[in-house]
Homo-oligomer: A and B are copies of this chain.
Amino acid sequence: MTRTRFHQGLDDLKQKLLAMGGMAEQAVERAVRAYQTRDLSLCELVLRDESKINAAERDVDEMSIDLLAMQQPMAIDLRFIVACIKINADLERVGDQAVNIAERVMDLLSRPDPALNVDIPRMAQLSISMVRDALNAFLTADVDMAQAVLERDDMVDNMNREIFEAVDAAMAKSAGMHRNLLDTLIVARNLERVADHATNIAEDVIFWVRGADVRHHSQA
């Protein structure tokens, strides 16, 4: 089995992107756990770790650029590296959403718990699983898995709409709870953005695999 330095580099890039995805997922999980358990220290942990995710993003970019510069890549490898660069940017923004959620939770914690009847944890679970599956779809070149992520985006959009309506209805009734309702609404929207990023990744996977299929033997 011959392994060039280039192919070892591709494997390293894959591993690094997977680690980046793990960090981004963990940040969202922590932010949502902070929401559920009203845990300020978890919020602070999310804010503290943002710089690590940003640094990892730069590392993945640098590894990608080094690989592109190392030799004339085959079309299939070229598309893989370009997909890594794009997916990397989405993962970094998933991390940004975790920070946004943590900030809203900190605002929520400054007032009594209104015990709103909206299912943020379920929405979070779905969004996080979309990110995970989109990344796995990429690493296994699995178009069906990527397609399934796209379909789940509609579910998250519907949840987001339901929460918007629920907040709207609750505001009409409850006096003095506006601020917490607003915070909750924003958390839902942030999660919806997490799902959007997963959708972007899934689209890149489909674009990449199809492009690889089409162009594998016909380098431009």
Contacts and interface: CB of A to CB of B under 8 A. Distances in A.
Contacts of A18: none
Interface of A: 58, 61, 64-66, 68-73, 75, 78-79, 82, 85-86, 89, 96, 164, 167-168, 171-172, 176, 178-179, 182, 185-186, 189, 196, 200, 207, 211, 219-220
29 contacts: A58-B207, A61-B82, A61-B207, A64-B82, A65-B78, A65-B79, A65-B82, A65-B220, A68-B68, A68-B73, A69-B73, A69-B75, A69-B78, A69-B219, A70-B220, A72-B72, A82-B85, A85-B86, A86-B86, A89-B89, A89-B200, A96-B196, A168-B178, A168-B182, A172-B176, A172-B178, A178-B178, A182-B185, A189-B189
Contacts of A185: 182
Contacts of A172: 176, 178
B68 A82 contact: yes
Copy number in the complex reads 2
Identify which of A61, A70, A172, A186 gathers the most chain B CB atoms within 10 Å of its CB: A61
A76 to B, nearest CB: 11
Contacts of A73: 68-69
B58 A68 contact: no
Nearest to A64: B82
A139 to B, nearest CB: 20
Nearest to A197: B93
Q: Which 8 A-B pairs have the closest CB atoms?
A: A171-B178, A66-B220, A69-B220, A72-B72, A168-B179, A68-B78, A69-B219, A69-B78
A200 B200 CA distance: 16
